[in-house]
Amino acid sequence: RKEVEQDPGPFNVPEGATVAFNCTYSNSASQSFFWYRQDCRKEPKLLMSVYSSGNEDGRFTAQLNRASQYISLLIRDSKLSDSATYLCVVSKDQTGANNLFFGTGTRLTVIP
């Protein structure tokens, strides 16, 4: 089983739509969770951390469900500039080891 699994998409949505991505992880001991964004032929960039209580940053909302071991990202009022690949990222375990595991990403295209 992969450490992190995401639906690769692509998700094609019109401007202004709401879109949600889910991600599942295999290690119940993981402690840190993130969403990264990667534009075509660019490096991944941190979008937001994901906290147990859920957190929001403008149009973006991230949620964590430890019991079911999944993470979600909700994007409201999609903009053309939101078109990118969204990477779900999970830490290795609770010992503070260095590793982060990256999903293969979910491709989003926002259509005018």
Which positions from 28 through 87 interact with another protein, judged by CB under 8 A? 31-32, 34, 41-46, 49, 87
What's the min distance (Å) between Cβ of 45 and another protein? 7
Q: Which two tokens stand for residue 6?
A: 């995401």
| β-pair partners for 102 | 89
What's the min distance (Å) between Cβ of 5 and another protein? 10
The C-alpha atoms of residue 80 and residue 84 are separated, in whole angstroms, by 10
Is residue 102 part of the contact set for another protein (CB under 8 A)? yes
Greatest CA separation for the chain = 45
The C-alpha atoms of residue 20 and residue 42 are separated, in whole angstroms, by 23
Cβ closest to another protein, residue 32 vs residue 109: 32
Q: Can you say whether the dihedral through the CA atoms of 95, 98, 104, 107 is positive or negative? A: positive
Is residue 25 part of the contact set for another protein (CB under 8 A)? no
Residues at the site binding another protein, with contacts judged by CB under 8 A: 4, 31-32, 34, 41-46, 49, 87, 91-92, 96-105
